[in-house]
Amino acid sequence: MNLFSLFITSFIVNNIIFSQFLGICPFLGVSKKIETAAGMGIAVIFVIVLSSIITYIVQAAILVPLGLEYLQTIVFILIIAALVQFVEMFLKKSSPGLYKALGIYLPLITTNCAVLGAVLINIQNEYNFIEALVNSIATPAGFLLAIVLFAGVREKVDTADVPVALKGSPIALIAAGLMSIAFLGFSGLQI
């Protein structure tokens, strides 16, 4: 598969949030301000790229030779959780600036389904290493796009005159639904 079309497919057409409905929890939870939404999005890119590299190696080097592909889910969860912890500690020591920017978001994505989803998709679609890498950059980039757009919408909604019964989460969910429908427009896109 053409790497560019793979990127666009994962980035927009099969957007992790609006088409696959993974990672909805941080999408709704950390989208009140554009600034924090962007922080969350970048942390997700960071974690997904790292974890898909590690899980790809584990899959290829350990699980496949031993015929233990069915352990994927549990092994990947274990690895992702440990990896995020490790990265958090490493950043705290080596790069306090980056830690301050990402630090509070990292633990939030430890067990996020978007991360697990992205690495499992890599395996399911039988991507080679380069393809997996592209997919694991494009997928969280789609997450970043979605969460920043949504945060922008929510910031506008905050100042709008919303009926009392819809204030807060209800209007946020309606906005998310409308954005999801808008993204459906990309579904026929062929590159």
Partner 1 sequence: MIIISAVGVLGGIGIICGVLLAIASKLFHVDVDQKIIDVRNALPGANCGGCGFPGCDGLAAAIAEGNAPVNACPVSNQEGYEKIAAIMGVTAQVGEKQVAKVMCKGCDSLATKKYDYEGFTDCKAAAAVAGGNKSCDKGCLGFGTCVNACAFDAIIIEDGIAKIDRDKCTSCGKCIEVCPKAVIEFVPYSQDVIVECHNKDFGKAVKEICKVGCIACKICEKNCAFDAIHVENNIAKIDYDKCTQCMVCTEKCPTRAISGDLKKRKKAVIIEDKCIGCTICAKKCPTNAIEGELKKVHKVDAAKCIGCGVCASKCPKKAIEM
CB closer to partner 1 out of 116 and 134? 116
Residues 38-97 that bind partner 1 (CB under 8 A): 58, 62-63, 66-68, 71, 74-75, 78-79, 82, 85-86, 89-90, 92-94
Please tell me what DSSP assigns to residue 112.
-
Size of the site for partner 1 (CB under 8 A): 19
CB closer to partner 1 out of 67 and 97? 67
Task: List Cβ neighbours of 88 (8 Å cut-off, separation of 6 or more).
Answer: 99, 103, 106, 107
Q: By the 8 A CB rule, do 109 and 47 touch? A: yes
Place of tokens 């999005």: 41
Q: By the 8 A CB rule, do 4 and 106 touch? A: no
CB closer to partner 1 out of 90 and 129? 90
CB of 40 to partner 1, least distance (A): 16
CA–CA separation, 52 and 44 (whole Å): 12
CB of 73 to partner 1, least distance (A): 11
CB of 78 to partner 1, least distance (A): 6
3-state secondary structure 35-76: HHHHHHHHHHHHHHHHHHHHHHHHHHHHHHHHCCHHHHHHHH
CB closer to partner 1 out of 79 and 153? 79
Q: Which residue ranges make up the site for partner 1 (CB under 8 A)?
A: 58, 62-63, 66-68, 71, 74-75, 78-79, 82, 85-86, 89-90, 92-94
